[in-house]
Structure 1
């Protein structure tokens, strides 16, 4: 059974017979009769008593009218919504994002997109590691995903759009061991208590690499709740390595944000399904990639002027 068959059934009901229904549907009468016979076979019951050129609904036919109209209305609504999305009058963008990148750059992306497409809505779904994001996009749970990873994303069945890098920084309490500093070398973290995320995250990889190189740090807190990191730092529980996405929020909250030397960080990528995107998601992707291209061009234009000043 499909909705097209139900629409044919309703046409026969509404027009009082096969001939008029066929004319209204721009079908031949035999084609319409064949479609109704197929529907009856699917349902295992006759829908019409055929009396000469007249048709009369059976009990089964009467019972089918209401659900058939519901299905037809649902299809009409779906078509209307699709048409509206094509014109970007309405629609929704589903995006999976890791916690730090949900702070930035996603906040900025949404702000700019909402300004140009105020009628569209965004749904941000949480993912904690790059494989989580990639899986949510690949399986179709989300159309787009925002990933932060040490290296370029290489995954089947997704398109990868590079958005640049985010540096790691150190969050510390203002009255803590690094007060008065602007930068901290990685070896100076020896002896410090660190607040870290779970395995598989960029911040955890940075700290694990420190320990592998012999830097003696203590894991004071390991948390999957990224929102707890800044309050823990402010309370003096420890320091935390995060991406610079947290800089504005942390400074407004009163924490120190220190550069880490040597520089290290994560690559930020927007990924999308290889399958066709909804118009709303396609518009979001197009705007983000255009903004990225414009930013790259500005940087290239600025570079000669910076060299001239030097």
Structure 2
């Protein structure tokens, strides 16, 4: 067994088949298949059921995913540690982020990181709920994650660095009767057509709680694609509850945003696995700490 075989195995898992895995790994499919066959011989069991062009994990294959990611991540950490001698001139940082936080604070953090380490690629993976972010970090699929929580920040499975709070706003089309106002009572969402995210997100939890309290609105669209919120609002489909991160970009495109009263906010956090992290992840965490300290001094 060698690390290359484990990388090919994970590529098949992540890309859904041998052909796509070979393309993503820049090797021929026969070479990739041969390496996986050798891995299966070493382990004494099949890792995939080959069904036509499909590759379906066996029970043994599912059991290998976690240890394989750990082994590959450990090697990547070792490689990155060597690259750190050259002041992070090259390398890669894998990070998971929920959609609204990909607007902010991801943009600010990544911009600061890239200015200091322009040779390091930041690979951002979409995760639609806090649970998805935590699972990707916990299993080693990524090193860092940025998430928003409606309650206390979860720290039982991962290490947590608080990044502040983002207030909830209402985003409406420019021709909405509410346009021009600076604030709206949450009860005034009654009768509105809302564009909402999928269950499990902080924004969805907020609107679901309003409905449970008797605020009767209509769900016009339920979407996993947070990037669709602004275009749908501008098209007049409905209003959307969003975070403070959207305020600037919404105004630039012509949508109107206003505070929701009483104030409700999501807690934003940067999470990582406990223990040693790669130099790139350590540098990113340091930048987050510096920006947070600067923000606190400015208050």
TM range (shorter): 0.7 to 0.9
Whole-Å separation in 2 of the counterparts to 1:234 and 1:122: 31
> What SS does the corresponding residue of 2:135 show, helix, strand or coil?
helix
Who is 1:74 aligned against?
none
Are the structure 2 counterparts of residues 147 and 2 from structure 1 closer, same or farther at C-alpha, using a change threshold of 3 Å? closer
Are the structure 2 counterparts of residues 140 and 81 from structure 1 closer, same or farther at C-alpha, using a change threshold of 3 Å? closer
Contact preservation (8 Å) 1:134, 1:155: no
Contact preservation (8 Å) 1:85, 1:91: no
Who is 2:127 aligned against?
127
Question: Can you list the C-alpha shifts for 1:268-292, whole angstroms capped at 9, x where unaligned?
Answer: 0000111311111111111111211
Whole-Å separation in 2 of the counterparts to 1:154 and 1:212: 25
Q: Does 1:245 align with 2:242?
A: no
Who is 2:206 aligned against?
206
Whole-Å separation in 2 of the counterparts to 1:79 and 1:159: 21
Whole-Å separation in 1 of the counterparts to 2:298 and 2:215: 40
The structure 1 segments of at least 4 consecutive aligned residues displaced by more than 4 Å after TM superposition are 77-82
Who is 1:179 aligned against?
179
Are the structure 2 counterparts of residues 2 and 201 from structure 1 closer, same or farther at C-alpha, using a change threshold of 3 Å? closer
Are the structure 2 counterparts of residues 284 and 179 from structure 1 closer, same or farther at C-alpha, using a change threshold of 3 Å? same
1:233, CA displacement in angstroms?
Answer: 0.6
TM-score if structure 2 supplies the norm length?
0.72
1:180, CA displacement in angstroms?
Answer: 2.1
Whole-Å separation in 2 of the counterparts to 1:110 and 1:80: 22
Who is 1:264 aligned against?
264
Who is 1:169 aligned against?
169
Contact preservation (8 Å) 1:146, 1:271: yes
1:152, CA displacement in angstroms?
Answer: 2.1
Question: Can you list the C-alpha shifts for 1:76-95, whole angstroms capped at 9, x where unaligned?
Answer: x9977642234312111111
Contact preservation (8 Å) 1:172, 1:257: yes
Whole-Å separation in 2 of the counterparts to 1:252 and 1:175: 15
Q: Pick the structure with greater CA Rg.
A: 1
Are the structure 2 counterparts of residues 215 and 156 from structure 1 closer, same or farther at C-alpha, using a change threshold of 3 Å? same
Mark the runs of 5 or more structure 1 residues left unpaired by the alignment: 4-41, 43-76, 300-310
Q: Does 1:189 align with 2:189?
A: yes
Whole-Å separation in 2 of the counterparts to 1:211 and 1:79: 50
What aligned pairs does 1:219-230 form with structure 2 within 5 A after superposition?
219-230=219-230
Are the structure 2 counterparts of residues 179 and 154 from structure 1 closer, same or farther at C-alpha, using a change threshold of 3 Å? closer
Are the structure 2 counterparts of residues 100 and 78 from structure 1 closer, same or farther at C-alpha, using a change threshold of 3 Å? closer
Whole-Å separation in 1 of the counterparts to 2:144 and 2:104: 16
Whole-Å separation in 2 of the counterparts to 1:171 and 1:271: 28
Contact preservation (8 Å) 1:92, 1:281: no
